[in-house]
Amino acid sequence: MRILLVEDEARVAGFIAKGLREQAYAVDLATDGEDALYQAAVNHYDLVILDVMLPLKNGHAVCRELRASAFRGPILMLTARDSIDDRVAGLDAGADDYLLKPFDFKELLARLRALLRRSGVPRPEILPVADLTINTASHAVTRAGRSISLTAKEYALLEFLVLHQGQVVGREAIAQHVWDENFDAFTNVIDVYVKRLRAKLDAGGRPRLIHTRRGEGYILSAHPEAPAESADE
């Protein structure tokens, strides 16, 4: 999942972004209201975390403009104000939930999971494909009973492929959902990560699950209807 984090306090933004990336979310950061609206206009986001007190445009104004521009993803607002009127104003502006500062990071993660479930994003806790199983809550990955250790980015890529199992996903879609705004589309980073995943998933001679469709992208399936692949793909 790709998240837009809108927070002008560098320390808070760094803390949240670091924690989310460690949980395999892709995170873009905006530090004022105008930048938030620009990034939301040029990128696809599954969810927005939006602080209320922002330079140039406050969170309520940003939220209203996001909804006016047809953004339908969940919006979680952050605020240090605990008055009922402030929370009502945020919800009336189009926010889906409110979280008071300071907060426990575990609560933030729980609220994100709840918002994503309510938004209809398919993210069941257990995702099986053939003898591969991934747990989206604990990020545990096993194949044929063998535990597989993955980095946060390897896990994010695998989860995205599994959520779209049986479908061809292009590099642009992978970059948009798994990486953030700093991703360089002209590099072979995605191919490198796919190669790493294959090495870990297929260890011990297990049948290949991630297949290449030349000119299209990748497909994760136990029974792909795909043309022959070269050995280094």
Query: What pTM was computed for the model?
Result: 0.67
CA–CA separation, 196 vs 154, rounded Å?
Answer: 8
Tell me whether residue 33 is in a domain.
Answer: yes
31 and 107 share one domain: yes
Q: Is residue 67 part of a domain?
A: yes
What's the CA gap between 197 and 94, in Å, rounded? 39
* Total of domains in the chain: 2
Alpha helix segments (H runs only) across the chain: 10-22, 33-42, 59-68, 84-93, 105-118, 152-163, 171-178, 189-201
Which of 118, 144, 159 terminates a domain? The answer is 118
Q: What is the CATH number of the domain that holds 212?
A: 1.10.10.10
To which residue do tokens 């995702």 refer?
A: 127
**Over 171-228, what HEC string results?**
HHHHHHHHCCCCCCCCCCHHHHHHHHHHHHHCCCCCCCCEEEECCCEEEECCCCCCCC
pLDDT digit string, tens, across residues 50-97: 999 999 999 999 999 999 998 888 999 998 877 778 878 888 889 999
Per residue in 162-191, pLDDT tens? 988 888 988 888 887 787 666 766 678 888
**End position of a domain, from candidates 84, 118, 152:** 118
| DSSP annotation of 127 | E
13 and 113, same domain (yes or no): yes
State the residue range of the domain holding 100: 2-118
